[in-house]
């Protein structure tokens, strides 16, 4: 973790320089240490795929992976993410090739308005990494921290099950 407190102009007073790896790329940002990870991703790094739903850690729309663990980025101060390996929705595809989970969400109708979709997809990837052949109960449990107001969840559950069928064994 690199943390360098800055002095000088009032514009930079209290900000620090933090390094982390985002979607496989080393990044350094100059931010206030208690800024929300969500805001740094969207405003400083221009990664707008991560959405803000509730801002209180209740809906999962802002979910990202930090060192492989699913977290709500609206609750994480950027200082806590310093030195970590972070994956956002933008980091799942390989160039123009969508991941199996992203494809399944599109094909099964699991993506509608788009607010919950990035968080749902990351939660699904997290689940499938832990349980490559999940039952319906596993899927419900794995996505229980994510709310959707559009689909009624059946299409999302179907998408996760389809993605599990398509994934290559590790």
Architecture of the 100-166 domain: Orthogonal Bundle (1.10)
Q: How far is 55 from 114, CA to CA, in rounded Å? A: 16
Q: What pLDDT, in 10s, does the model give residues 41-67?
A: 999 999 999 999 999 999 999 999 999
Q: Is the CATH code 3.10.20.30 the one for domain 4-91?
A: yes
Domain boundaries, the chain: 4-91, 100-166
Residue 54 is predicted with a pLDDT of: 94
Alpha helices per DSSP H over the chain:
37-39, 78-81, 100-108, 117-130, 136-142, 154-166
- Quote the pTM value: 0.89
Write out the two tokens for 9: 């102009």
Domains 4-91 and 100-166 share a fold: no
Coarse DSSP helix, strand, coil percentages of the chain, rounded to the nearest 5 percent: 35, 20, 50
Percentage of the chain lying above the pLDDT 70 cut: 91
Average pLDDT, the chain: 92
Q: What pLDDT, in 10s, does the model give residues 89-116?
A: 999 998 899 999 999 999 999 988 899 9
Specify whether the CB–CB gap between 62 and 51 falls below 8 A.
yes
């Amino acid at each position: 973790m690199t943390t360098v407190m800055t002095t000088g102009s009032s514009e930079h007073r209290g900000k620090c320089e933090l390094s982390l790896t985002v979607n496989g790329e080393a990044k350094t940002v100059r931010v206030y240490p208690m800024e929300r990870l969500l805001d740094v991703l969207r405003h400083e790094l221009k990664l707008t795929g991560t959405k803000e739903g509730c801002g209180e850690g209740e809906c999962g729309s802002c979910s990202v992976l930090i060192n492989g663990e699913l977290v709500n980025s609206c609750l994480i101060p950027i200082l806590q993410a310093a030195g970590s390996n972070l994956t956002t929705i933008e980091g799942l595809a390989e160039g123009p090739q969508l991941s199996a989970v992203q494809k399944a969400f599109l094909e099964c109708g699991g993506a509608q308005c788009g607010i919950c979709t990035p968080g749902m997809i990351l939660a699904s990837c997290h689940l499938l990494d832990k349980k490559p052949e999940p039952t319906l109960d596993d899927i419900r449990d794995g996505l229980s921290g994510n709310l959707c107001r559009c689909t009624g969840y059946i299409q999302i559950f179907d998408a996760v099950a389809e993605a599990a069928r398509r994934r290559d064994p590790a």
